[in-house]
């Protein structure tokens, strides 16, 4: 998929998949709004893009807060004059085996991984309708949507993953 000369918001752009996609989008000519909770790593991604000759800006956001997500959308549209793509990618894990979870851990994870994606879709779809140019909404998913595990995959031996 090519996003040449477009404007994209990438949430979680300060690390991992979000950083890698931010660099790739920018390499293809997209103006990228790196939106992340972590200001230090988000600004690092912006610097990496600019050093490589691309265009990017950072906006701090907690994707679990709808107002902040709306502010990111306004920031992107006002900074670059349009908005073509949101890549909802910011996410987190419980960080502990299922039987050690608490309702607080569950709320923290679903606030980011569920509410955050919904807020990104809603805020951007409204802005795209207002702007009248259509657009693309991309959401990072996980194979964990199709399987159940008692422990986080990062700590799980491979033989248990495949059984």
Ligand X SMILES: NC(=O)c1ccc[n+]([C@@H]2O[C@H](COP(=O)([O-])OP(=O)(O)OC[C@H]3O[C@@H](n4cnc5c(N)ncnc54)[C@H](O)[C@@H]3O)[C@@H](O)[C@H]2O)c1
Judged by the rule CB under 6 A, the positions of this chain that interact with ligand X are 11-12, 14-18, 36-38, 41, 61-64, 89-92, 112, 140, 142
CB of 60 to ligand X, least distance (A): 8
| Adjacency order of strands within the sheet including 85-88 | 56-60, 31-36, 7-11, 85-88, 136-139
Considering the complex, state which of residue 5 and residue 107 has its C-beta at the smaller distance from ligand X: 107
CB of 133 to ligand X, least distance (A): 26
139 three-state secondary structure? strand
CB of 132 to ligand X, least distance (A): 28
Considering the complex, state which of residue 34 and residue 77 has its C-beta at the smaller distance from ligand X: 34
Cβ neighbors of 148 (< 8 A, separation 6 or more) are none
Considering the complex, state which of residue 16 and residue 81 has its C-beta at the smaller distance from ligand X: 16
**C-alpha dist (Å) from residue 144 to 37, 39, 93, 114, 141:** 24, 28, 11, 14, 8
């Amino acid at each position: 998929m090519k996003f040449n000369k477009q404007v994209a918001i990438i949430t979680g752009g300060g690390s991992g998949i979000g950083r890698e996609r931010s660099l790739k989008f920018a390499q293809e000519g997209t103006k990228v709004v790196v939106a992340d909770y972590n200001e230090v790593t988000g600004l690092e991604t912006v610097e990496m893009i600019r050093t490589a000759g691309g265009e990017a800006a950072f906006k701090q956001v907690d994707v679990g807060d709808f107002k902040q997500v709306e502010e990111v959308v306004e920031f992107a549209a006002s900074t670059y004059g349009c908005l073509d793509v949101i890549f909802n990618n910011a996410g987190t894990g419980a960080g502990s085996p299922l039987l050690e979870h608490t309702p607080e851990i569950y709320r923290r994870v679903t606030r980011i991984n569920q509410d955050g994606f919904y807020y990104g879709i809603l805020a951007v779809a409204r802005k795209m309708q207002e702007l009248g140019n259509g657009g693309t909404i991309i959401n990072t998913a996980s194979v964990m949507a199709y399987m159940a595990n008692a422990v986080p995959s990062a700590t799980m031996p491979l033989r248990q993953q495949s059984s």
